[in-house]
Structure 1
């Protein structure tokens, strides 16, 4: 059942849009009030995922940056590293943005680069130039192949983007994503994973819908 078959409140049609609300309406069998409650819960569970995703993204970024800075002997390591064209483009865009400020530093460029950029450094394209000489050292608690790690992070990148762009996630295997965040964070640092768990509300929100 879609929004064409039921009478939606005006604010839902105008502010959420029929196309956006359809997925919720279909899940609840056309029950508008239940669909609104599901929408509210989707907001709550997305908010709960924000904290652990923050820890994972910032930890990956800084762990890779530290190892690459060591490898190339400079904070702006991208000036020496052999990178794919897409990675060079993203760095150039980040540099142009931060260099508008007179006091910009390489750390400002690092902070400007997206999660997708850092995940791309784990791809096959950067295997010889980045992974082998330096990036693998960012994961002291991981001993598997680079390809599996990259695939895991690619899935997390897609999930992260859904959360940050306010997309529906209620239909996904949220307990699996919850576990994956801590598995990946644990590859970087067991201590960071334990710290992030202290304020984690995901399990409590999932329990509200018996997940």
Structure 2
């Protein structure tokens, strides 16, 4: 099986998880309690040894195959969406390495519940939020940008009189909108979230 095919299959696996994860984050627009409640329900599905092993394995495969493809394809990139596809993939690979390391460290070293408060501690604490808001925001935009790039490459026909280029632009616009909504939810509309004391270790308190 080719590296491209392996990357595509692992990408579909991760996309399913990320869609659920982003849906969970959108719920924060209606309060942290709903976010935590939805996360606890979703964890019944994905936080078991079988599913979790598949997801983590897919992440590692995606990172390795993605970096390999990045080295091969970056010099031959021509169109705008091909560039977005390549560079968003690189950012996602770096983000996934850091994010997964943080989650596993939080669970098995710090023994924290890696829930809403674990993810939002940095987003709601100055000066850490100066880094974490763009860091998380760019990851979400990169996810949609990567999908837009794949769509542009594989879609060969118009839909509702929209060309593949226009369709991909809509996907990217949706990504920007989702990013703003999620950041609003995770920061309580920029009013800040009160972080429980056990998570102070994440922000140096």
Under a length normalisation based on structure 2, what TM-score does the superposition of the two structures give? 0.33
Larger radius of gyration: 1
Under a length normalisation based on structure 1, what TM-score does the superposition of the two structures give? 0.32
* Structure with more helix by fraction: 2
